[in-house]
Structure 1
Amino acid sequence: MTRLLAALSLAGLLAACGPETLVSTGLGMASLQTTDKTLADHAIGLVTDKDCSSLRAERGDAYCLSDQELQARIPAQPEFCYRTIGGVTCYTKADETKSATRLLY
């Protein structure tokens, strides 16, 4: 990912255009950093109604995945959620120090 960010930065500097180039490069880098997707990935995902990622494709995986395919990749983990003063706190295994009456699900 560092190489990709460096390449995007270099491309923005080599373009030597106006401020719009710097803004679009900055937005692209911010998008890649926060969502692991480029702006083009977001646009293609909106058109296809799928989750598209260049980084995932670079790793040898599928470029676009449907919501069902994404859900199938998430391993099911049991949740033990307890009522607390601040709201609800969840754990992947039961907490023996908590009262069973505070167990929500």
Structure 2
Amino acid sequence: MRHILSLATLLLPLLGGCDGPALVATAGVNVASLTLVGRTVPDLLVSGVTGRDCSIVRLDRGLSYCGPSPVAPGPQPYCTRSRGSVDCWVSRPLAIPIVPGQGDAPPGLTVAQEADRTARWPGL
């Protein structure tokens, strides 16, 4: 069933133009998109809706049409300055006074940022 839906999605742009110039233009756009982005126009639409890496190139390589869902990034280590080096911890060390962290990255994603990262299109 999944392959029928992906095939129907790939053939959907062809329904709008059954004449020669429209078919040539659609094929040209898909070839250009496949060359530049690695996905055809329907692949881009399916990838945008599902939030996964979907491509006909994956089928050509013998993989599934859509790749696995992206995993959430793990917690970043909390690094502090030490004598001549940097020590990294899984969580902030319980020290008084509070030891300032070292590094450029923020300590992690907030709940709202993680919800935005994993959000799909409205109503899907």
Bin of the TM-score, shorter chain as denominator length: 0.3 to 0.5
The answer to which structure, 1 or 2, has the higher relative contact order (CA under 8 A, 6+ apart) is 2
TM-score (norm: length of structure 1) = 0.44
Structure showing the higher helix proportion among its residues: 1
TM-score (norm: length of structure 2) = 0.38
Structure showing the higher strand proportion among its residues: 1
> Is the radius of gyration larger for structure 1 or structure 2?
2
